[in-house]
Structure 1
Amino acid sequence: MSARSHSTRRTGGRRILAAVAGLTTIGALVAAMPAGSPAAQERSHGHGRLVDVQLLSFNDFHGHIQPPSGSGGRVTHTNPDGTTRTIDAGGAEYLATHLREARKGERYSVTAAAGDLIGATPMLSGLFHDEPSIEALNKLDLDVSSVGNHEFDEGAKELARIQNGGCHPTEGCYEQGRKFKGADFPYLTANVTHEKNGRPLLDPYFVWQKNGVRIGFIGVTLEGTPDIVNSEGIKGLKFRDEVESINKYAKILERKGVKAIVALLHEGGSPASTSYNYDCDSPGPGDGISGPIVEIAKNVSPQVDAMVTGHTHQAYACSIPDPSGKPRMVTSAASAGRLYTDTTLTYDRRTRDVVRTSVDSVNRVVTRDVPKAPDLTQLIDRWNTLAGPIAGRPVGHISADIDNPFTEERPLGNLIADAQLDALSPADKGGAQLALMNPGGIRAPLVRAASGAEGDGVVTYGEAFTVQPFTNMMNVVDLTGAQLLTALRQQVSGSNQASPKILQVSKGFTYTLDLTKAGADRIVTDSVKLNGEPIDPAKTYRVAMNEFLTGGGDGFSVLREHTNKLVGASDLDVFIGYLGKYSTPAAPLAPPALGRITVVK
């Protein structure tokens, strides 16, 4: 597949800055020009040698066209005195308003993203295979995005439909007379190739240009994507090294005369603080960030002028040195549309490159104190109307509230783990002997009074989706008893020592958690049993869990060491299937009994 060169499709309201603010935004090169010089005057009108290009970016949107709720809909701000406060943030109606306001007065403005725009989405988008999110992103005037791992949740064929349009292959069109048009922006996959011919699955790069200003964007997907998506959906594809792929296409762009280059990479890092305004360049460039992005950035060619990243759902704007030791801006805007990054790229028309010393980035909050964008409100209302009958479809019945309290063992966690074991225990489904569920993946309780107009205990599709909204694929893997014991210890040690993440376990799996002790010693080793038998460290067990856990999420690094993986249905399908199988109006499902985890305090 040949790469394409695109002219910008949207020009309204994008003008160059009317004046130069000073050294902090444009660097010493521009400051050196006398304020009244012809060069400075030309630059101020966007026709001189140097012009400022505004790069607006975000990542890991995950279909949050409506404002995300709870802690997932807030960001943390650190005040000058060191105290912190939280700010409600996110929602496509507000993001549109913020982006449109930011573009005012900018002659050169381009908007880019770093993947996971869809997949693991809330009900309103997920019900319709993320068509609502793509329509919203089109209205946000997104110019280009890399492909994230979650764009492959439903396979490469569905990704092609998302890009090119067309009705869903099994569900058809959701509105009579309206066909899904696909993404207006190109999705880029420089490192995802067909095994047979080595050609990229989608375009590897995109060239944005306006009035002779040309900026190349190289899009790269998480190399580890095959470990966390359904293997059938990516059959015949190869996910190549991120650094090698970026460097390859940086050279190609240079040969084509495109010297200003931005990498859109769906991989990221972890800053030392969760505050979006944390200075990760203190005491030195990049000192306040860790994780995979650090080594990647240090090895990506100096030809690349900036890197927009994602995947870790963290917020940062760091100057990480490139292979030549020269600082280079690397950014991420958290997730769920709560932030966007505003980057200034000073473009030199003579060299056709970015003045790296002038690159400046800042993360800005998508606050909810601005007017909603009416066109986004209309879009959300339209899809809500369509979602009504689907969201209201009964899928099960409960006899009482199945709550999700903040305790070590949770009734709803037990129910979900039992559902996963039930679905994946047959030999042809994976032969699971036990199931583990991450507590953070349980997003809401099942409440009887809220389930039906008369409080009759009906569980609707919409309510089940709200409990399990991520649509993670289920995996069944081999783990040794020793690895299982290590996983239990990682609940309460390492990165989880201060805030334990207690896995929810299926029936038959029991152990004691002694909170009077510290760290890994909180797990009483000889208490860990499966169906009454002590766990044998040397024995291999078949364990069901979602792809988030098999990828080592929430600090469970040992779970990445699994072998013999089988990918099953989504966690939502498993949950709904269990509700339908074991509950009726006459015999509703009761909350599972507790007692799998004995807690000593």
Structure 2
Amino acid sequence: MTLRLLHYSDVENAYDAPDRIGRLAGTVRARRDADTLVFGTGDNTSPGVLPLVTRGEQALDFFAAVEPDADTFGNHDFDYGPDRALELVDRAPQPWLCANVRRDGAPFGRDHDVHPWRVFEAGGARVGVFGVVTPKTASINPATGDVSFSDPIVAAEAAVEALREQDVDYIVCLSHLGRGDEQLATAVDVDVVLGGHNHAETVERLGDTLLTRPGANGEILFEIDLPAREVTRHIVVEGPLNESIRDAMADRMAAAGVDDRVATVEEPIERTEAACFGGESRVGNFVADAYRWYADADVGLQNAGGIRSGPPLTDEVTVGDLISLVPFEEPLAVAEVSGATLRRAFAQGEGSRLGFGEPDWWHAHVSGATLVYDRAAGDLREATVGGEPIRPDRTYRVALSDYLLHSDDEFPALDEHHRVDRLEVQYRVLEAYARELSIDPQVEGRIKWV
């Protein structure tokens, strides 16, 4: 008998596109039978406009329609705090598997439907499944509160040992590690790693282990056949439509009250992965400019991962469109830093050391500054602020997401002791800027490669 796995991950702002989330649900249901297991690998409740407005509630509609066999946590599944995450677990039809999350000295969610591992039967096979999430979750998501995240490799080894004792035919890992998937696949004896967190679509064979990551926003569903380990890629927009899910999301979006127009954009502003992570872009400049303007700062700094990809901003731009760009209840902060620290932060804009992206991604969008970077050498050659070279002993005022002062993952040169103020929530800053100055960013040579 053939066992089929269906793998979705990082659904995120697909909920804001009713037709797409309806087709993801329809594609899952169309490909499912008695020999199939359906798994999600994190960030399937948030972020997005509807996730922000409903605090993840909208995901329950999707889960009820597709009835996953299991999901694991992603970093964004804690966006509304650990207690809200457990509320959603209690109301979702599937168990949640995560072996490296703890709270109060005990496994997180042990009194709820959260488990380190579980055995499923399908396709004539016994399948042992466990989950892990990036240990950087507490650093990259301040809302995790008192939840801690341990070494995923140690947790995976313990889960595999326990599952081997259950006489399983296959072991599958549900992973939200990003580029840590590759290490897990080579270090731990598993048959399949179903990955997430890294939004780059991936199908890779590492020795005897198959690794898949379907990318973000519900655009791709992977189908894996075992024992052949063949992978079929389903393009969701070409799939069948689940009209009930489409209508449910459309109704939720209409009720959200985010369709107030704030500006008109004549030349569409792209929000593709390339626009977010490829260096200077119009969308990055818009966000960074809004931050600098609102805070009356020397520099605006926006991390590329904080800008969510999606349809271009064009024609009548609404409040909802701006929320979808930075869909977090995160305030704009003001930091005061020395020129030496600011230069170190700018140098950390390259992406090779980050676990959620690709090595050639660029992570810094700036306003009020220009950067010249030697990518081959991994070196920031030049940096100016206000047209002048950065002075190491001068203090600079930087407007940025408060998240960047909490996280030691992105721009670790900046931390909470640099904060001098917290201002309005980020998307409200974009709204104020758009209403006052409209939206017409240009690429100006702020970031250059040599």
Q: Which residue of 1 aligns with 2:45?
A: 118
Match for residue 435 of structure 1 among 300, 308, 319: 300
Q: Which residue of 2 aligns with 1:297?
A: 185
Match for residue 224 of structure 2 among 324, 337, 343: 343
Q: Which residue of 2 aligns with 1:54?
A: 4
Cα distance in 1 between the residues matched to 2:151 and 2:405: 21
TM alignment of 1:396-411, pairs within 5 A: 404=269
| Runs of 5+ unmatched residues, structure 1 | 1-50, 69-89, 165-181, 270-291, 322-326, 346-357, 426-431, 452-459
Q: Which residue of 2 aligns with 1:575?
A: 427
TM alignment of 1:152-191, pairs within 5 A: 152-164=78-90, 182-191=91-100
- The C-alpha deviation readout for 1:517-566, integer Å capped at 9, x for no partner, is 997899773x6136x8752336776744348877999xxx8723443368
1:143 and 2:69 matched: yes
CA positional deviation for 1:339: 1.8
Match for residue 31 of structure 2 among 102, 112, 134: 102
Cα distance in 2 between the residues matched to 1:522 and 1:491: 10
- The C-alpha deviation readout for 1:107-154, integer Å capped at 9, x for no partner, is 321101111112222x34433223223311320221101100111112
Q: Which residue of 2 aligns with 1:243?
A: 153
Q: From the superposition, tell whether residues 363 and 474 of structure 1 become closer, same or farther in structure 2 (CA, over 3 Å).
A: farther
Cα distance in 1 between the residues matched to 2:340 and 2:144: 32
Cα distance in 2 between the residues matched to 1:216 and 1:336: 27
Q: Which residue of 1 aligns with 2:115?
A: 203
TM-score when scaled to structure 1?
Answer: 0.59
Which amino acid in the other structure matches residue 200 of structure 1?
A: F
Q: 2:385 aligns to what SS in structure 1?
A: strand
1:462 and 2:320 matched: yes
Q: From the superposition, tell whether residues 256 and 549 of structure 1 become closer, same or farther in structure 2 (CA, over 3 Å).
A: same
Contact 2:200–2:358 (Cα < 8 Å) also in 1: no
Which amino acid in the other structure matches residue 462 of structure 1?
A: G
Q: From the superposition, tell whether residues 144 and 473 of structure 1 become closer, same or farther in structure 2 (CA, over 3 Å).
A: farther
TM alignment of 1:553-572, pairs within 5 A: 559-564=411-416
Cα distance in 2 between the residues matched to 1:496 and 1:204: 29
Q: 1:65 aligns to what SS in structure 2?
A: helix
- The C-alpha deviation readout for 1:394-431, integer Å capped at 9, x for no partner, is 7xx56997984889977875563355457778xxxxxx
CA positional deviation for 1:476: 6.4
Cα distance in 2 between the residues matched to 1:145 and 1:486: 38
Cα distance in 2 between the residues matched to 1:466 and 1:266: 22
Match for residue 537 of structure 1 among 392, 407, 417: 392
Q: Which residue of 1 aligns with 2:21?
A: 92
Q: From the superposition, tell whether residues 590 and 317 of structure 1 become closer, same or farther in structure 2 (CA, over 3 Å).
A: closer
Q: From the superposition, tell whether residues 473 and 259 of structure 1 become closer, same or farther in structure 2 (CA, over 3 Å).
A: farther
TM alignment of 1:214-225, pairs within 5 A: 214-225=126-137
Q: From the superposition, tell whether residues 157 and 475 of structure 1 become closer, same or farther in structure 2 (CA, over 3 Å).
A: farther
Match for residue 391 of structure 1 among 258, 266, 269: 258
RMSD across aligned positions (CA): 4.7
Match for residue 369 of structure 1 among 234, 238, 241: 238
Q: From the superposition, tell whether residues 137 and 598 of structure 1 become closer, same or farther in structure 2 (CA, over 3 Å).
A: closer
Contact 1:114–1:147 (Cα < 8 Å) also in 2: yes
Q: Which residue of 2 aligns with 1:328?
A: 209
CA positional deviation for 1:214: 3.4
Match for residue 504 of structure 1 among 356, 363, 366: 366
Cα distance in 1 between the residues matched to 2:446 and 2:164: 62
- The C-alpha deviation readout for 1:239-274, integer Å capped at 9, x for no partner, is 1000111112222334455564321110133xxxxx
Q: From the superposition, tell whether residues 151 and 400 of structure 1 become closer, same or farther in structure 2 (CA, over 3 Å).
A: closer
Which amino acid in the other structure matches residue 545 of structure 1?
A: L
Match for residue 226 of structure 1 among 122, 133, 138: 138
Which amino acid in the other structure matches residue 218 of structure 2?
A: G
Q: From the superposition, tell whether residues 538 and 52 of structure 1 become closer, same or farther in structure 2 (CA, over 3 Å).
A: farther
Which amino acid in the other structure matches residue 385 of structure 2?
A: K
- The C-alpha deviation readout for 1:3-55, integer Å capped at 9, x for no partner, is xxxxxxxxxxxxxxxxxxxxxxxxxxxxxxxxxxxxxxxxxxxxxxxx43221
Q: Which residue of 1 aligns with 2:288?
A: 417
Q: From the superposition, tell whether residues 533 and 252 of structure 1 become closer, same or farther in structure 2 (CA, over 3 Å).
A: same
Q: From the superposition, tell whether residues 342 and 150 of structure 1 become closer, same or farther in structure 2 (CA, over 3 Å).
A: same
Which amino acid in the other structure matches residue 308 of structure 1?
A: L
- The C-alpha deviation readout for 1:250-300, integer Å capped at 9, x for no partner, is 22334455564321110133xxxxxxxxxxxxxxxxxxxxxx322222222
1:450 and 2:450 matched: no
Contact 1:481–1:539 (Cα < 8 Å) also in 2: yes
Cα distance in 2 between the residues matched to 1:541 and 1:598: 18
TM-score when scaled to structure 2?
Answer: 0.76
Q: 1:91 aligns to what SS in structure 2?
A: helix
Cα distance in 2 between the residues matched to 1:314 and 1:332: 7
* Paired positions, count: 433
CA positional deviation for 1:571: 10
Cα distance in 1 between the residues matched to 2:421 and 2:328: 13
Contact 1:188–1:204 (Cα < 8 Å) also in 2: yes
**Amino-acid identity (%):** 21
CA positional deviation for 1:223: 0.6
Cα distance in 2 between the residues matched to 1:500 and 1:317: 23
Match for residue 54 of structure 2 among 104, 111, 128: 128
Q: From the superposition, tell whether residues 344 and 374 of structure 1 become closer, same or farther in structure 2 (CA, over 3 Å).
A: same
Which amino acid in the other structure matches residue 221 of structure 1?
A: V
CA positional deviation for 1:483: 5.2
| Runs of 5+ unmatched residues, structure 2 | none
Match for residue 306 of structure 1 among 164, 182, 192: 192
Cα distance in 1 between the residues matched to 2:222 and 2:422: 33
Cα distance in 2 between the residues matched to 1:142 and 1:409: 39
